[in-house]
Amino acid sequence: MKNTSLILSVIALVAVAALGIVQLTSGKKTAAPVATDGTAAEVGKGSIVYFNLDRVLQDYDMANELRSAVESKVQSINQEVTRRGNKLQSDYNSFQDKINKGLITNSVAQVQSQKLQQQQEDFQRYAAQKEQEINEEQTVMMNQIGDAIKTFIDKYNEEHQYALILTTQGDIFPSPVVTGEGALDITEDVITKLNEEYVKNKATENNSSK
């Protein structure tokens, strides 16, 4: 029977994958690019504007709802993986205690050892499968959010007809827009209208499902 530290390492691996979802998708406060001094730029057709993607992900209702749902699934997965891992650990400890006390014969010990070995291999496969499920949940969530934002921005620009819409991300040194006129920052407008459209779409879906 292999050392049970392997069991604990598998549990830790799944936990790390789960933590990745929280870290990658949680809405953290991010400084917007600092506007330059002087007269604000006139924003109109053909302008180059930008929005802070980190803030959109933080304040977009759809992103928050999807993140909450995924985090709930991840928590449930982690609890089950931990429960199974602890059960296997307990069975192994009991087996070792019986051997140390001479409470079982060598033939029985061999059978039980093989059984525990199979249980450990099954657990490793199960934990790996759950880790993959977590990664898939994260990927699908980010794809759904990204597709919704891209679809909205395309529609948004049909009305405003900007020459270019950039996104900026980062805190200390945001990129690709390090600094720019405050009037070119459309983040607040994007968040407001994005959420308005989401509420409207949800209402339409709810009415159609009745």
- Given a cut of 80, is residue 30 above it in pLDDT? no
Strand partners, 175: 169
Q: How many domains does the chain have?
A: 1
By the 8 A CB rule, do 28 and 58 touch? yes
pTM for this model (two decimals): 0.77
Tell me the C-alpha distance between 69 and 14, whole Å.
18
Mean pLDDT of 181-192: 94
Chain segment 63-101, per-residue pLDDT in tens: 999 999 999 999 999 999 999 999 999 999 999 999 999
By the 8 A CB rule, do 177 and 166 touch? yes
Q: Could you list the residue range(s) of the whole structural domain that residue 203 is in?
A: 5-209
Angle, in degrees to the nearest 10, between helices 106-160 and 61-100: 170
Residue 188: count of CB within 10 angstroms of its CB: 13
